Amino acid sequence: SQQGEEDPQALSIQEGENATMNCSYKTSINNLQWYRQNSGRGLVHLILIRSNEREKHSGRLRVTLDTSKKSSSLLITASRAADTASYFCATDAGAGGTSYGKLTFGQGTILTVHP
């Protein structure tokens, strides 16, 4: 079953604009991860944020996590046409501080960046 729900389901923006995608989940987690998927390169890991972290940056990516609201957001700044892809959040519910690696994915946000 899908735990995460991404919002919006689809997002269309112009190159140079920022894109924000949100993810909500239902159970306690060890960490939350964001993946990108396009037809050319399959599923690619972008960033991991642990349950005791609130914000994380990687290049043009910024992820926030609010465990009290069971939600996360992914911000892509200064978007490029090459960012066009589906973006998925995935939760790892491994207990006791140990990541089990088994992921529960959301349904994804389809991002289209127009040149």
Residue with tokens 């994915």, as numbered in its chain:
105
96 near other proteins (CB under 8 A)? no
Identity of the residue, 24 or 99, whose beta carbon is nearer to other proteins in the bound complex: 99
In the set 59, 96, 101, 115, which binds other proteins (CB under 8 A)? 101
Q: What is the CA radius of gyration of the chain?
A: 14
Strand positions, DSSP E, the chain: 5-7, 10-14, 19-24, 31-38, 42-50, 55-58, 61-66, 71-76, 85-92, 103-105, 109-114
Closest separation in Å from C-beta 55 to other proteins:
18
CA–CA gap between residue 54 and residue 45 (Å, rounded): 19
Between 50 and 79, how does the x/- string for binding to other proteins read (CB under 8 A)? ------------------------------
Considering only 35-43, 52-60, 61-69, 74-82, which stretch makes contact with other proteins by CB under 8 A? Answer: 35-43
CA–CA gap between residue 17 and residue 31 (Å, rounded): 28
In the set 2, 14, 28, 52, which binds other proteins (CB under 8 A)? 2
Closest separation in Å from C-beta 100 to other proteins:
8
CA–CA gap between residue 73 and residue 106 (Å, rounded): 13
Site for other proteins, rule CB under 8 A = 1-2, 4, 33, 35, 41-45, 48, 88, 90, 98-99, 101-108
